[in-house]
């Protein structure tokens, strides 16, 4: 049975260096263990892209979010910094991502495991026909801990929602010593939650800044809890893969 809730914690981070023939250079740490079934193997990993290095135009075979959490750079022609969120559907080309003088760090999040970037135009023959879908958020402001700790009630703001696809990007703010039962929509693949500020209690673990958790789409609700720190949490609703790209058995 596949775990429906997974935690991405900084403890135990082990970055591996990667270098491609196209000039891309970065360090990567994977938070989740791999499952043999790609569709049942969510991914959360952190990329540290080196200063002034470009990640060229490419696509993946799975839907994904990228959350820029440190540094600065450009995504295509648009400047990016924390916290900009980008969503790209399966088989949707995006990029390039160009790191600035200090490099740029970003989380890559998927409900199903992808086998690696396919660069364009070199691998154009592998780019399947079908709907292309992407979204880039404005920079989402991070509250100070002092501001958060003055909260007296729960506050949820949706920055972007799509009824048809299920895509959602929102910010949840929880006061200190609060418990909140977060509803999980039934028309999505899963939810990622990233701590932007403060801390979030999950069982016997405490998630802090830029640590995250994944909740599978089969779960109907999930209890969120804070202790003596309020929390600001980035909420990401992952759409189901478009039927055009679903693998069907004969």
The CATH number of the domain where 197 resides is what?
A: 2.60.120.10
Which of 136, 156, 178 delimits the end of a domain?
Answer: 136
Residue 213 lies in a domain: yes
Q: How far apart are CA 5 and CA 226, in angstroms?
A: 18
pLDDT at 249: 44
Ranges in the chain, pLDDT < 50: 1, 249-250
- The answer on 109 and 92 residing in a single domain is yes
Q: Cα separations (Å) of 189 from 33, 39, 48?
A: 18, 10, 26
Model confidence, pTM = 0.95
Note the pLDDT tens digit of each residue in 103-132.
Answer: 999 999 999 999 899 999 999 999 999 999
Q: Quick one: 189 and 220 in the same domain?
A: yes
Say whether both 103 and 217 belong to one domain. no
> Can you give the residue range of the structural domain that contains 181?
145-239
Last residue of a domain, one of 104, 136, 168: 136
Of 116, 136, 156, the last residue of a domain is 136
- Please give the pLDDT value at position 4: 87
Tokens matching residue 218: 């089969």
């Amino acid at each position: 049975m596949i775990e429906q809730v997974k935690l991405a914690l900084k403890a135990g981070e082990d970055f591996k260096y990667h270098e491609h023939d196209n000039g891309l250079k970065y360090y990567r740490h994977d938070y989740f263990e791999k499952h043999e079934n790609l569709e049942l193997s969510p991914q959360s990993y952190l990329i540290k892209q080196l200063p002034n290095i470009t990640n060229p135009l490419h696509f993946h075979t799975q839907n994904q979010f990228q959350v820029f959490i440190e540094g600065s750079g450009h995504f295509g022609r648009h400047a990016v910094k924390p916290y900009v969120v980008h969503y790209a559907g399966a088989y949707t080309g995006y990029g390039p991502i160009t790191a600035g003088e200090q490099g740029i760090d970003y989380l890559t999040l998927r409900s199903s495991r992808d086998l690696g970037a396919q660069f364009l135009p070199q691998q154009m023959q592998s780019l399947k026909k079908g709907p292309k879908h992407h979204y880039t958020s404005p920079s989402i402001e991070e509250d100070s801990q002092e501001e958060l700790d003055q909260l007296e009630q729960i506050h949820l703001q949706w920055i972007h929602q799509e009824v048809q696809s299920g895509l959602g990007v929102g910010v949840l703010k929880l006061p200190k010593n609060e418990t909140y039962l977060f509803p999980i929509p039934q028309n999505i693949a899963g939810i990622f939650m990233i701590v932007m500020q403060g801390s979030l209690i999950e069982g016997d673990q405490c998630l802090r800044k830029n640590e995250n958790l994944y909740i599978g789409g089969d779960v109907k609700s999930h209890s969120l809890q804070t202790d003596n720190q309020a929390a600001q949490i980035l909420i990401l609703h992952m759409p189901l893969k478009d039927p055009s790209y679903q693998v069907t058995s004969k």
